[in-house]
Amino acid sequence: MIRSLYFIISFFILIFWSSCRQDFEFTPSTGTLSFSKDTVYLDTIFSNIGSSTYTLKVYNNSDNDILIPSLKLSNGQNSNYRMNVDGMIGNGTLVGKEFENVELLAQDSMFVFIETTIDIQPLVANETQFLYTDAIEFGTGPNTQKVELVTLVKDAVFIYPNKDANGVVETLIFDVDGDGVDDETNVQGRFLEDSELTFTNEKPYVIYGYAAVADGKTLDINAGARVHFHANSGLLITENASLHINGLPSLDAEILENEIIIQGDRLEPLYEDIPGQWEAIWLLNGSTNNSINHATIKNGTVGILSDGNQDDPTKLVITNSQIYNSSNFGILGRGTSISAENVVLNISGVSSFAGTYGGNYNFTHSTIANYWANSFRQFPALLLNNFIIDAENTVFTNPLESANFTNCIIYGNDNPELLLEKEPSEVFNFKFTNSLIYFDDPTGFYSESQYDFSNTDHFENVMFNNDPQFLDPSINQLNIPFGSPAEGSGIVVGNLNVDITNTTRTSPPDLGAYNATEFED
């Protein structure tokens, strides 16, 4: 009996010992690892700006626990890549570059996280972009396996505020409220030097904080320029200063080689259409002679904020331009003057165009749409009012001297897409002519006089609720097809004889910024 008990105990000890040893016996890797990809492409980055983190998954599909004797970057300590292997960062001078004796259990996997920051200047002279490569090596000798790493690096002109000896970032001093007195602000940024007042198309511009244009100065942005804003950044055009965005028609509809493109500084495809990556182009009260032509402004908080000077017809003239993916407003006017022709606005968290606190607005052949889908939206594509309410709920009024919309499309994925907020004690002049508006009010909720659509002083030849049949508004394709209700529904206006793509308009012209075209199946 005792001998039997001893045998049983010995048997289980042997099994237990064998199983324990199986768990902790690692055999050297023999080149049988598999990977989630054979090349990791880290998307385009700017020189000296860190990339996003990219992931490589490594699989051990064998039934043996293996030991990877070496896991390293081919360029070693000189590599501009860095790695984290399943939470390990490495040791000594090779932190993030080389790892030894990495264990990987049978039928298991691990993650390798990869980042890079690259200074293009030491790598290549007189070039604006450079393809930087390296590889991750798994194992040694004949059992070595490799995964390639590839990154396109772009050189850029960087504009950023200065820091004092204590590391405090420079802030701007300017007249915030239009009272003629400069105010100290907490807006980080600096005024552009005279040598910085022309943006060319030679290199992209990357701006940290606000780049401000001083009294009496003009910022010229040449055709084909690319401007990128970091988070919480933008342009600030102060009193008596001007902004000229001088784009030209492009031959390639994909590349838009002559378009001026303004967006955030994250170049990864993930950020291609993310709203709110930067703040605004802010035309302060007193700025004048501002013009924008053939520009794409996207992914900001407010595409353009124009303050004051409603009697200045040169306050903002915008033509042949598109603004979309704004987390708040595409264009926000506050008691200002805006003239717009061939303009497309779409996807805004609040309104695509808001003319608030009165002003003078003239939109011709423009598409004002809102297909925001990121959250619930409370406001329409187009908002007009003649007042503001301050933090103490005090109402201030200002005349809406004119708001004219001719040959326009006002549409979206909410109803209605037009809101007319009128303070009765103040002037509220507006007119829609030969336009298409989404406004369906079967219950008569909007009963105020400004919604009398039979009043030809305000609504002349206007169509309501006819789907313009946009190509794909969810991705900012606001083209219209042949057969759209907007086709041929306009009137000839002055010498505006081309659409936003520089295509000759038909007669009678189509509504909106685009000529009708035949959509491909």
Domain-embedded: residue 11? no
146, 182: one domain: no
The pLDDT, as a whole number, for residue 179 is: 77
Question: Are both 460 and 419 inside the same structural domain?
Answer: yes
Residues 109 and 225 both lie in one domain = no
Q: Could you tell me which residues come within 8 angstroms of residue 388 by beta carbon, excluding any fewer than 6 positions away?
A: 334, 356, 357, 395, 396, 398
Are residues 212 and 124 part of one domain?
no
CB 407 within 8 A of CB 435: yes
Domain shared by 268 and 137, yes or no: no
403 in a structural domain? yes
Tell me which amino acid residue 499 is. Answer: D
For 82, residues 6+ apart whose C-beta sits below 8 A from its C-beta are: 96, 97, 114, 115, 116
Report the alpha-carbon distance of residue 228 to residue 262 in Å, rounded.
6
Q: Domain check: are 201 and 122 in the same one? A: no
Point out the domain boundary residue: 101, 128, 154: 154
6 within some domain: no
CA distance linking residue 521 with residue 515, whole number of Å: 18
Q: Do residues 35 and 175 both lie within one domain?
A: no
* Residues 120, 196 within the same domain: no
Q: Please tell me the predicted confidence (pLDDT) of residue 93.
A: 76
Last residue of some domain: 93, 120, 154?
154
pLDDT at residue 83, as a whole number: 97
Query: What is the domain range of residue 39?
Result: 27-154
Listed residue (368, 350, 358) closest to 406, CA to CA: 368
Provide the strand spans (E) within 18-144: 27-28, 34-35, 39-46, 54-60, 66-73, 81-85, 98-104, 108-116, 129-138
> Is 274 domain-assigned?
yes
Last residue within a domain, chosen from 154, 176, 199: 154
Task: Mark whether 221 and 352 lie in a shared domain.
Answer: yes
Residue 190 CA to residue 296 CA, distance in Å, equals 24
- Structure tokens belonging to residue 509: 């012209």
> Which bin fits 90, alpha (ψ -120 to 50), beta or left (φ > 0)?
left
Residue 279 lies in a domain: yes
- Answer yes or no: are the C-beta atoms of 114 and 40 closer than 8 Å: yes
Q: How far apart are alpha carbons 98 and 84 in whole angstroms?
A: 10
Domain count, the chain: 2
Look at residue 385 and tell me if it is in a domain.
yes
Contact by Cβ (8 Å): 384, 357: no
Do 146 and 208 belong together in one domain?
A: no
Q: Are 500 and 513 in contact (CB under 8 A)?
A: yes
User: pLDDT truncated to tens, each residue of the chain (521 aa)?
Assistant: 444 444 444 444 444 444 444 455 788 888 899 999 999 999 899 999 999 999 999 999 999 999 999 999 999 999 999 999 999 988 777 899 999 999 999 999 999 999 999 998 888 766 788 899 999 999 999 999 999 999 999 999 999 998 888 889 999 998 887 777 888 899 999 999 999 999 999 999 999 999 999 999 999 999 999 999 999 999 999 999 999 999 999 999 899 999 999 999 999 999 999 999 999 999 999 999 999 999 999 999 999 999 999 999 999 999 999 999 999 999 999 999 999 999 999 999 999 999 999 999 999 999 999 999 999 999 999 999 999 999 999 999 999 999 999 999 999 999 999 999 999 999 999 999 999 999 999 988 999 999 999 999 999 999 999 999 999 999 999 999 999 999 999 999 988 999 999 999 999 999 999 999 999 87
Is 76 domain-assigned? yes
CATH code, domain with 81: 2.60.40.10
Confidence (pLDDT) at 122: 83
- Residues 196, 329 within the same domain: yes
Do 143 and 177 sit in the same domain of this protein? no
Is 329 part of a structural domain of the chain?
A: yes
